[in-house]
A and B are shown apart, each in its own frame.
Chain A
């Protein structure tokens, strides 16, 4: 059987088992922010993991879209971690998380305007220069739209990654969540994506809150998101895909089964 390229997010509750049993997983993604501290026990664990699996470093702390200057400590620690584990990809989100030194630790959307495109693309270029490598930028889920936005999210996303000349992390679940929350066709979004820039795909489970869908990463991937993923696989080809599960983290087996399910859809649609 052909091997798929669908991995899982590394969660702390699974680390000991993964180190001991070394299950067959094509690659792992880690939340880089949790492993930045040099000589910490957490980074110590990660170095053991890095000896066994290819890694993708995924962050929330860059605050790419913030009007605050970049956090110097964050970048130097991230650069040092990159040098130590040699990840296949380094990613963060198309959003802002901090302002005036206050950090929300959440992903807050940007207004979709020409001046935001110029500013954010400049910030991504600066981040790439600081890290001396390509970074990969992910679309976030959103629960509101700003009045000042002058274009669709996909026009904004595409313009930013083109102008920044960076990679793109396509979160299929986030597209679906935002499509339902803002009443657009997720396929319009998908078809507008610059396929050649897609470096990775994310899948996750949302929560239906009645008035809106919330991206909680606390459940199985839903049927409509699997359908959208099949479309994405057809469009972008055999791109590394990842299951994100952060809240109510299940047993490793369930996570791996979810990755295998993604894998079979991927193989079926990219054959």
Chain B
């Protein structure tokens, strides 16, 4: 446990070395942008993730042909090597 104690104290020291305060936020703004560019994926949020939500309009959709679609997915998965796992 004493080894853990040393490690824990060192961990706290490295966090404090970041010099973060509530006022400064997690990071300075330009540092944040830099970070997002290399590590984070940011997308146009409001159009994503079903965020658009409700509307009060009807939808025109034709009666689906129940049999037509079930056989095999036909999309970009076919482009992937090993995307469709062959039997055997």
Contact = CB atoms under 8 A, between A and B. Distances in A.
A and B touch in the complex (CB under 8 A): yes
A203 B47 CA distance: 24
B51 A12 contact: yes
Interface residues of B, number: 13
Interface in B4-53: 45-47, 51-53
A42 B51 CA distance: 8
B24 to A, nearest CB: 21
Summarize B's interface: helix, strand, loop or mixed.
loop
Contacts, number: 58
A13 B56 CA distance: 17
B59 interface: yes
A58 interface: yes
B66 interface: no
A106 B47 contact: no
Nearest to B59: A216
Contacts of B59: 216, 247
Contacts of B56: 31, 58, 60, 93, 107, 217, 244, 246
Contacts of B71: none
A105 interface: yes
Interface in A209-260: 209, 214-218, 244, 246-247
Nearest 6 CB-CB pairings of A with B: A246-B55, A217-B57, A34-B53, A12-B46, A33-B54, A246-B57
Given A107-B56, A246-B56, 13 more contacts: A11-B52, A12-B51, A13-B46, A31-B55, A45-B46, A60-B55, A105-B54, A107-B58, A209-B60, A214-B60, A217-B56, A244-B56, A246-B57
Interface of A: 11-13, 15-16, 31, 33-34, 41-42, 45, 58, 60-61, 93, 105-107, 141, 143, 204, 207, 209, 214-218, 244, 246-247
